[in-house]
């Protein structure tokens, strides 16, 4: 893999990982389930879904208690915020990050969410309707706005640098990683705690996606519902969770003796400018996005050894991404392993890009490529070198992780294995 020399500037490394997903309430449990090819799907328990067309989802552990959050605050904190705080705790501990006062001013946060604290807003709308305005919580607005996960991580960890929130649908988590990496490359921060969080398993959200015919309706077999690239796919499986990474400049990480988990080598972001929710069927925007990420990384397509695809299991999205991959990688695509980890986690919307970046980095660390489950019959329009059914051993040093969202927004990350491996 072409790399910069260890003393070069502009390198952005990953020193901490943390997540809460339908596969497990921490990184260790999530990775164990993912490499074993388990599904996080099941019947919806967060609300009564018996009258809904879609009655399945990928849910996390019901009770979340971040240690950093005072107990009196937990009951009034939106679930999306709880997920982010829990994952951030783990990522910061994994990084061994302890910041002095001066360092805190150059340490920031970029944690996004696709829909923010929708649960808090809906709950208080019900209170308003049933009990009147005086009963509405004063935390309705603070817990409803999308930037509160980032705000509270900044508050509780004492980070006084940039405090950002990206809201770009299903590309949110990847945009947060990419844009925060740019801040570090530009010398505007030394440390950024980044990622995405989402708690969308709510009646109106599930009904809304179902009315668009975007969701899988395999209610009797939830573990088989998420079927990326499969000829019998019928939509995505909605999920919840959070993925948080600690990013640092190479110099800062080396100076404090941090363990480097990987590297953000390149980042691309653009738009299809095609449709409100449907991707460009030719994958033109997605292919340009991937090419931009490769160019920033100063890598050729043949340098990439693995792809974690955005693939959600929708009839339109999967073929468009397959075409985009073929456009970018040419003949190399036939020897380029591709995974679709949403087959296990479900689609975590604004958290998806961050969780998938974490899973991709773990693959590079372990030399083990994650499986795509439920891929029983590959759609002829999606023929690729799929990692089907079970994990595959491979010595890979560079990977691509894609995230595409409603509004035509695209994000691609080129991730590298730790230089020490």
pLDDT at 16 (0 to 100): 98
**Portion of the chain with pLDDT greater than 90, in percent:** 91
SS3 of the chain: helix, strand, coil, percent, to 5: 40, 20, 40
pLDDT at 25 (0 to 100): 95
Inter-CA distances, 67 with 15, 155, 156, 382, Å: 21, 14, 11, 44
Structure tokens of 19? 């997540």
**DSSP labels for 212-252?**
TT-B---TT-GGG---TTBTT--SBPBB-EEEEEEEEEHHH
Mean pLDDT over 200-204 rounds to 98
pLDDT digits (tens, 9 = 90+) for 366-421: 999 999 999 999 999 999 999 999 999 999 999 999 999 999 999 999 999 988 66
CATH of 264-417, one of 3.40.190.10, 3.40.47.10, 3.40.50.12780, 3.90.220.20: 3.40.47.10
Phi then psi for residue 220, to 5 deg, are -80, -15
Burial class (CB in 10 A: 0-12, 13-18, 19+), 6: exposed
pLDDT at 55 (0 to 100): 98
pLDDT at 94 (0 to 100): 98
The reply to whether 175 belongs to the active site is no
pLDDT at 396 (0 to 100): 97
pLDDT digits (tens, 9 = 90+) for 245-264: 999 999 999 999 999 999 99
- Is the pLDDT at 3 greater than 70? The verdict is no
Pick the catalytic residue from 170, 252, 289, 386.
170
Structure tokens of 391? 């994990």
What letter does residue 279 receive in the DSSP assignment?
P
Structural domain boundaries in the chain = 13-255, 264-417
pLDDT digits (tens, 9 = 90+) for 89-110: 999 999 999 988 889 999 999 9
Could you give the 3-state DSSP secondary structure of residue 290? Answer: helix
Q: Which helix (H) or strand (E) holds 62?
A: none
pLDDT at 7 (0 to 100): 46
Domains 13-255 and 264-417 share a fold: yes
Chain centroid to CA 354: 3
pLDDT at 421 (0 to 100): 62
Pick the catalytic residue from 46, 175, 347, 386.
347
- For domain 13-255, the question of CATH label 3.20.20.10 is answered with no
Which residues on adjacent β-strands are paired with residue 211?
Answer: none
Q: Give the angle 357-363-369 at the CA atoms, nearest 5°.
A: 115
pLDDT digits (tens, 9 = 90+) for 115-147: 999 999 999 999 999 999 999 999 999 999 999
The reply to whether 275 belongs to the active site is no
The residue with tokens 């005086």 is 134
The reply to whether 310 belongs to the active site is yes
pLDDT at 74 (0 to 100): 87
Pick the catalytic residue from 46, 166, 252, 310.
310
């Amino acid at each position: 893999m072409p790399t910069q020399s260890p003393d070069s500037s502009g390198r952005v490394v990953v020193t901490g990982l943390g997540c809460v997903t339908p596969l497990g309430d921490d990184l260790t449990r999530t990775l164990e389930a993912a490499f074993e090819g388990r599904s996080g799907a099941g019947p919806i328990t967060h609300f009564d879904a018996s009258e809904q067309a879609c009655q399945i989802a990928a849910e996390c552990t019901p009770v979340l208690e971040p240690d950093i959050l005072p107990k009196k605050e937990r009951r009034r904190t939106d679930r999306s915020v709880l997920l982010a705080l829990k994952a951030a705790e783990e990522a910061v501990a994994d990084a061994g990050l302890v910041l002095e006062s001066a360092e805190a001013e150059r340490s920031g946060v970029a944690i996004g969410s696709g829909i923010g604290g929708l649960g808090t807003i809906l709950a208080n709308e019900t209170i308003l309707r049933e009990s009147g305005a005086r009963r509405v919580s004063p935390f309705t607005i603070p817990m409803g706005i999308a930037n509160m996960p980032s705000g509270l991580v900044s508050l509780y960890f004492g980070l006084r640098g940039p405090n950002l929130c990206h809201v770009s649908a299903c590309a949110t988590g990847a945009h947060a990683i990419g844009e925060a990496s740019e801040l570090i490359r530009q010398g505007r921060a030394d440390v950024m705690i980044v990622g995405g969080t989402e708690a969308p398993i709510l009646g109106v959200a599930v009904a809304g996606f179902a009315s668009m015919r975007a969701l899988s309706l395999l209610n009797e077999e939830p573990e088989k519902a998420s079927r990326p690239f499969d000829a019998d796919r019928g939509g995505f499986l909605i999920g919840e969770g959070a993925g948080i990474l600690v990013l640092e400049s190479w110099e800062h990480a080396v100076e404090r003796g941090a363990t480097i988990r990987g590297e953000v080598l390149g980042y691309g972001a653009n738009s299809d400018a095609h449709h409100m929710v449907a991707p460009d069927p030719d994958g033109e925007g997605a292919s340009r996005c991937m090419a931009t990420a490769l160019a920033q990384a100063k890598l050729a397509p043949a340098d990439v050894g693995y792809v974690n695809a955005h693939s959600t299991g929708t009839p339109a999205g999967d073929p468009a991404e397959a075409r985009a991959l073929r456009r970018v990688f040419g003949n190399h695509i036939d020897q380029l392993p591709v995974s679709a980890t949403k087959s296990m986690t479900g689609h975590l919307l604004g958290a998806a890009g961050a969780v998938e970046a974490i899973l991709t980095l773990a693959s590079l660390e372990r030399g083990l490529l994650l499986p795509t489950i439920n891929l029983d019959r590959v759609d002829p329009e999606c023929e690729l070198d799929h990692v089907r059914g079970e994990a595959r051993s491979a010595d890979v040093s560079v990977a691509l992780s894609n995230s595409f969202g409603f509004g035509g927004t695209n994000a691609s990350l080129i991730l590298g294995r730790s230089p020490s491996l």
